[in-house]
Amino acid sequence: MPVSDAWRERLASARDDRLRQRRWRKRRVKPSATLDFAGNDYLGLAQEPRVQNAQAEGARRFGAGAGASHLVSGHLGTHEALEAALAEWTGRERALLFSTGYMANLGVLQSLADAHTAIFQDRLNHASLLDGATLSGARSRRYHHRDGEDLQRLLARSTATHKLVVSDGVFSMDGDVADIATLARVSREHSAWLMIDDAHGFGVLGENGRGCVEGVTREDVPILVGTLGKALGTAGAFVAGDAALIEHITQFARSYVYTTAQPPSIAAATLEALSIVRQEPQRRRQLFEHIATFRREAPLLGLPLAHSATPIQPLMLGSEARVMTWADTLAQRGISVGAIRPPTVPEGEARLRITLSARHTQADLHRLLEGLNACQREEAACHA
């Protein structure tokens, strides 16, 4: 068989398997009029005119792209200013920008861990953390979700020279929050470093929006990763920590060294977004009012909400077919929600992933609840 035919057969087999499982994913261009309850723009900053204007001005001033990696000639003044602002905001000595959150997690784990390292991860950690551990060549174990006792047991049995505990801050498909205090205590007891990926908490959680590690010392969480494309509404990510850590990652993280720097216009927009987060706490208050409203009203309709106090509100439907039917019904009403199925979540735990934003209105929430109730009525009618 010619090589090209062998490859085509392999691709066709993979496609057919996914189609048979009814898990083939399709990209859809989102209509501009869609009411978005699927994205992660938690504070509405992606649509904020001041952020948009800062991005446009950044492009005019610095160019559309950085033109090179940070270590060649792509590190500009706006990047330096943003790193300094992020370090100050998170209470760390330094911060380092990455082009995406996925690249940040790959780079941190690949640069810190090796065959002499044992990595301990929450079972529900994001794929980028799991992939970063694999890339590093370290021995990797996964402890039960939010289970400090299981982590304690695994750490006690490890004879590795270096130990690294890794957890999401807010779990992206469930919306629950890691027990940072327990993770920090257990890590200290076993001389392990703790890394928290606060992608969905940064800008949202904490009294001042510093995320799920607000109030926790940098000694307890020496490695902090955050993303900029969620609550801050722009793009990219950062890792923050002490100077020695950041310098090491700068030198050894392949996803940092060998890629073009973040566009300077994005850095300029993010500086403006960070300033708004710091100066306008009413955005977080508005967001949490929406969360309270949704969690009060949804159970009155009999909707099967998961336990989450964050903007991520999973509606646990179980059946993949049921999830797709509900998502299609909502789409016909001009409402976009996340239809989440395996392998993103475990078998039997398919769900609608509903995300709330400060930009939503009470009328938007009412429209969403009406749509979800209509899904229930149509389902009941089909089974009558």
Annotated binding-site residues for pyridoxal 5'-phosphate read 101-102, 172, 200, 227
Q: Please, what's the largest Cα pairwise distance for the chain?
A: 67
Considering only CA atoms, which of 281, 311, 314, 316 is closest in space to residue 293? 311
CA distance 201 to 204: 5
Instruction: Tell me phi and psi for residue 294, to 5 degrees.
Output: -65, -40
What is the spatial order of strands in the sheet that 312-318 belongs to?
A: 35-37, 335-340, 350-355, 312-318
Instruction: Respond yes or no: is residue 163 known to be catalytic.
Output: no
Sign of CA dihedral 155, 91, 248, 224: positive
Instruction: Tell me phi and psi for residue 349, to 5 degrees.
Output: -120, 30
129, 213, 248, 253, 320 from 164: Cα distances, Å: 12, 17, 16, 17, 35
Burial of residue 314, with CB atoms counted within 10 A of its CB: 0-12 exposed, 13-18 middle, 19 or more buried: buried
Choosing from 163, 230, 290, 360, which is the catalytic residue? 230
Annotated binding site for substrate: 25, 126, 344
Q: For residue 283, give both structure tokens.
A: 């955005």
Is the separation of the CB atoms in 125 and 133 below 8 Å?
Answer: no
The DSSP-derived string for 116-140 is: TEEEEEETT--HHHHHHHHHHT-EE
The dihedral formed by the CA atoms of 74, 77, 81 and 87, expressed in degrees to the nearest 10? 40
The DSSP-derived string for 236-271 is: -EEEEE-HHHHHHHHHH-HHHHTSBPPPHHHHHHHH
CA distance 187 to 232: 30
Choosing from 167, 172, 255, 308, which is the catalytic residue? 172
The one-character DSSP state at 163 is E
Instruction: Respond yes or no: is residue 230 known to be catalytic.
Output: yes
Annotated binding site: 25, 101-102, 126, 172, 200, 227, 344
Is the separation of the CB atoms in 111 and 259 below 8 Å?
Answer: no
Instruction: Respond yes or no: is residue 200 known to be catalytic.
Output: yes
Sign of CA dihedral 308, 343, 229, 216: positive
Choosing from 70, 75, 200, 360, which is the catalytic residue? 200
> Catalytic amino acids?
172, 200, 230
